[in-house]
Amino acid sequence: MPAFEIGVASADDIALLGDWAGAEGWNPGLSDGGAFFATDPHGFLIGRLDGEPAASVSVVRYGTDFGSLGFYITRPPLRGRGYGIQLWRAGMARLDGRNVGLDGVVEQQDNYRKSGFRSAWNNIRYEGVPYGSRDGDAGGDGGKHGGAATPAGVTLVDARTLPFTQLAAYDRRFFPAARDYFLASWITGPQRTALAAVQGGELRGFAVLRACRAASRIGPLYAESTGVAAALVGALGATTPGKPVALDVPDTHPEAARLMERLGLTPSFETARMYTGPVPRIDRSGLFGITSLELG
């Protein structure tokens, strides 16, 4: 009988998981693995069948009471043989006692409910080339970025130039736990641009664009207003003129969805944000786009 063993994934394994996720159509970032590994090096489990990678799950711990589950994948030829559920049980054991969040694809949501997860909202992926950042009309002046006017008094700056404590405190408004190690790696990794909207020394918005296997992904996208969100998307889109971007937008924020449509983006993919415990209290009104499907 083939030997199936579960262990902690290596950094090279995490790169492989990115390829698996890409094959599923999830379009992870090209350099996400470094940020993921830095966040919780023990939080990625891999199942090997006769020594060969066969299945995976990420079970990343944040703080003392929250966890995020992702990368739940079994290689297609090996599905239906019980390897995935073994990884699932091992992963959930690692997060025992915590409120666990995940972004579940449609075909798995019933299974997640059987394991105690409850839906909080749906994420709709909007994708396309933003108006104002298409070939020939990128950039702009007079406070415009990729065709979107920046609200009066607001300036867009490289987020990496801000005091990290300020950026981390702002991120905490929109996520259930502090995640400084993740955030530091997320904004400084290769092939990504991090912008902050600043007014009077205060943060009014924050967004990161990263290169992916297909459309570049923007996540997170935080903003105090639709105008700030539009300016951030326009500025990030202008860094890759004529090329598509994608955002995962909570359906609890209808203004965000309408903004994506005005920018010329269309729905292409759907997941459900689910939790095993109470839905965390975060600033949903400013959450225009989640950070990632893999780590929340």
Write down the pTM of the prediction: 0.93
- So where are the chain's domains? 4-107, 125-289
Share of residues in the chain with pLDDT > 90 (%):
91
Tens-digit pLDDT profile for residues 168-178: 999 999 999 99
Average pLDDT rounded to a whole number, residues 203-220: 97
Residue in the block written with tokens 């929109």: 174
Q: Which residue has the higher pLDDT, 141 or 240?
A: 240
What is the model's pLDDT at position 149? 85
- Domains 4-107 and 125-289 are alike in CATH topology: yes
Burial 98-112 (b: 16+ CB within 10 A, else e): bbbbbbbbeebbeeb
**Six token digits for residue 171:** 């991120």
Query: Is the domain covering 4-107 a CATH 1.10.8.590 domain?
Result: no
CATH of domain 125-289: 3.40.630.90
Q: What is the mean pLDDT of the chain?
A: 93
Residue in the block written with tokens 């990030």: 236
